[in-house]
Structure 1
């Protein structure tokens, strides 16, 4: 598991602001979505090195640094249900806020992110 990072006050303020506009789900809600086979695309917004170490099975990788540039090509349907995750739920909230402003209408940020996925027992992919 990745240790928790200490985040700067400015970053936390951005995240707090983004979370006022972003719908979040926790790992239990996500597990229920998966169990019910609810259609969605799981998007990993972590950095390349994090993705390469391991990621949720079936996830699409669009890092926080490139998601705005690449999402319209990777996922052109702006009505698709998207579930974004990062390490703990901060970067995914920022990315979700950003792509919502680009017209994506059904975006969720996974609170707890990778740490929650890893602890949940959901299938993982490791190169």
Structure 2
């Protein structure tokens, strides 16, 4: 009996070592990596194109900056949902998955991540402003 117990323990140990050796540790990603990955799945446009979209009308501008940043100035008519709350609030604010959404943050990173999240949630027409709010304000475009 002791012989079989030792054999079973040895087999179980061997199988667990083989299975453990076959798994890979996921790559730890930096913020830069995450934004680069998001950018592979979203359309980014320069601020000049975003201004044309605003002038054209029919687009929802989504500001994903903090409340403090939003209060300091934002694109006229923008919907505000902080990046950290996007997944929880977007369906109530923008229920139409075919809506034309233009996302922006302060410098582009949060906007890229938010735009990618929207795409993953089934939104079909999502664009991110390259560089975010900073080039918009610098260009002297309208602000509220």
- The TM-score range, normalised by the shorter chain, is 0.7 to 0.9
Q: CA distance change for structure 1 residues 117 and 15 in 2, over 3 Å: closer, same or farther?
A: same
Structure 1 range deviating more: 111-120 or 69-78: 111-120
Q: How far 1:93 sits from its partner (Å)?
A: 0.4
Give the ranges of 4+ consecutive aligned residues of structure 1 lying more than 3 Å apart after TM superposition. Answer: none
Q: Report SS of the residue matched to 1:65.
A: helix
Greater C-alpha Rg: 2
Please list the CA deviations of residues 9-43 of structure 1 after superposition, one character each: whole Å capped at 9, or x if unmatched.
Answer: 810110001100111111111122233x1410000
Structure having the higher helix fraction is 2
How many residue pairs align between the two structures?
A: 116
1:19 aligns with 2:76: no
Distance in 1 (CA, whole Å) between partners of 2:76 and 2:48 is 17
Q: Report SS of the residue matched to 1:66.
A: helix
Q: Give the number of the structure with larger relative contact order, counting CA–CA contacts within 8 Å between residues 6 or more apart.
A: 1
Ranges in structure 2 where 5+ consecutive residues have no aligned partner: 1-28
1:40 aligns with 2:62: no
Q: Report SS of the residue matched to 1:98.
A: helix
Q: Map 1:51-90 to 2 at 5 A.
A: 51-90=70-109
Q: Map 1:98-109 to 2 at 5 A.
A: 98-109=117-128
Q: Report SS of the residue matched to 1:69.
A: helix
**TM-align CA RMSD:** 1.2
